[in-house]
Structure 1
């Protein structure tokens, strides 16, 4: 198992001198680094395993952290360690406090020099979203890198716990709160007797949805729905308009991006009044940013999905609709 720790005093000193990192020089030279105001001395070492199975070891919880994706910046705040962040990437705008942090570029275009200039004790990286080459360079220079790849709702809670340990904050409390909220939504795959047939529109052109392994599909199931394209092998498959019409969804959810007043994401579906969701106007907009970031805000969107599907169930039961969505008088 690889361990993301310093590679030796000489290597660290050379890296610090080359990249202007005075705190690193002081640490290698045996001087005590300056303490941030209000921060208690921390001496206990910490080791966690990241989503690549690599052990990330620190001599103490990190006080200077760089987050290389908006979601990781948001998770650091959610875990109670936002005050440890010293730099983030473009798009890190939640919570509002993240907007005041220095930017070091874009998630997909990283500069090792810019990251080192922030003098990080830990880098939080997006496995699959960040270029692995600068991350490898950071490791060679002795900078610990935590790789995050969240693919399930439980993964959000696990990441909050891990970040709490790495940052010396109460991430465990945030994880417990997340799990409580998730449990209130219902168990995974709860198998409602007559689940609401749902089409989730990720993108309009090209038309894209999600399969059953996606965490949004998990949210839909917990809310008593069934993802009509859950059996597709691709995580985010492209599909044809005809396939959606034939599936006859009782609810259509669309990810909303940007400000209100933009294009109507349901415009194409309104041409098909034979679709039960269109006939009953069960066309619901979901916060696309919140549901896609794999942070606690994902549950805000999930709770909204539950409210939407509750509306559908009330209509179906009240109208005496059958399980196929056929209602008297429609």
Structure 2
């Protein structure tokens, strides 16, 4: 069954202009920081080890499903496949990174998905899931090549995976109250107002630690407010190095979007990024590209704003 798809062009300012907007914000929030336009490094090499060399070529964002399919109670029939979603965003041969919920039908329980897939003839699946084990600890699991499923929600960035010009963000020693991703998104919102600007890509936690959550098994009682959600989630303080897949859009243009979402993993742990917990020692390096379109796939008909942090 085909999924309902809405497509909307995003505002695409000159990359140098976006870099200047972001650099001003980064320098207000971190003791050191630069945002520059660079030739994307080969992301298949260390320390990135991603499945494609770059983030360029027909860059686009998609917001699939949503938190209302999880909260207040789960709708387990909301199942997706990244390969099909690549076709839905009109880029069947693409490099997809993103943050969502894992394929519970395969994993056996609810989980966090760190999506990392090359679709098409060069198919490669480097996705991980993070779940809560029987001892209430985080367990990281790499998905097999043929398991490109997800469930409930996914915020994804898709491109042709080619190298080209991208935004490099480097920030060290946080002096403000805002996490890296929110710092970038809020700067774009402040500068561009009602014109939605979207970014997608990846960032590394080079030094320090980050607060992340991992969803446990689906709640059997309705989660009706953020406090309910926070009591249900499991929170962890994970050390660097970590690699995050990240999307953000400065403004929701009426599509009921999750405006920022980042999931990442370290050696044997992973989850949903909230903020760094070591402001004096934290260091980030990020590479983002500017998206040309936003696709809204299988938008919930009944919505709310609970659980979107």
TM-score category by the smaller chain?
under 0.3
Q: Which has the bigger relative contact order, CA under 8 A and spacing at least 6?
A: 2
Greater helix fraction, Structure 1 or Structure 2 = 1
What is the TM-score with the length of structure 2 in the denominator? 0.26
What is the TM-score with the length of structure 1 in the denominator? 0.25
Greater strand fraction, Structure 1 or Structure 2 = 2
